[in-house]
Amino acid sequence: KAGVTQTPRYLIKTRGQQVTLSCSPISGHRSVSWYQQTPGQGLQFLFEYFSETQRNKGNFPGRFSGRQFSNSRSEMNVSTLELGDSALYLCASRTDNYGYTFGSGTRLTVV
């Protein structure tokens, strides 16, 4: 059974640009969550999608957005990138019970 797949693994963007990250959940998992991990702030919740609807959102500015498709795949978008957006972005999927499984993340560097 394939795990959570995130693409790309690494990304370098310039300040002011926008970026789209992709996450393919484990087959059968309908919930997808996104987290940002930085050395200073640790792991912080961005948002969760379930059946194409955003169910929960963390305390991030509106530049951070996401969506989920009918096949449960999810994308997150960050517009007008800032240096502080450099981070490891992690996606986690689960069934509607508790068991979160994380992908390996996308390492975003903003220069």
Residues at the interface with other proteins (CB under 8 A): 4, 6, 33, 35, 37, 39-40, 42-45, 48, 50, 55-56, 58, 88, 90, 92, 96, 98-105, 107
Q: Tell me whether residue 80 or residue 100 sits nearer to other proteins (CB atom).
A: 100
61 preceded by cis ω (within 30°)? Answer: no
CB of 7 to other proteins, least distance (A): 13
Q: Tell me whether residue 3 or residue 16 sits nearer to other proteins (CB atom).
A: 3
CB of 108 to other proteins, least distance (A): 12
Count of C-beta atoms within a 10 Å radius of residue 53: 9
Give the dihedral of Cα atoms 70, 75, 76, 80; nearest 10 deg: -120
Q: Count of alpha carbons within 13 Å of 60, Cβ hemisphere only?
A: 25
DSSP for residue 9: S
CB of 15 to other proteins, least distance (A): 21
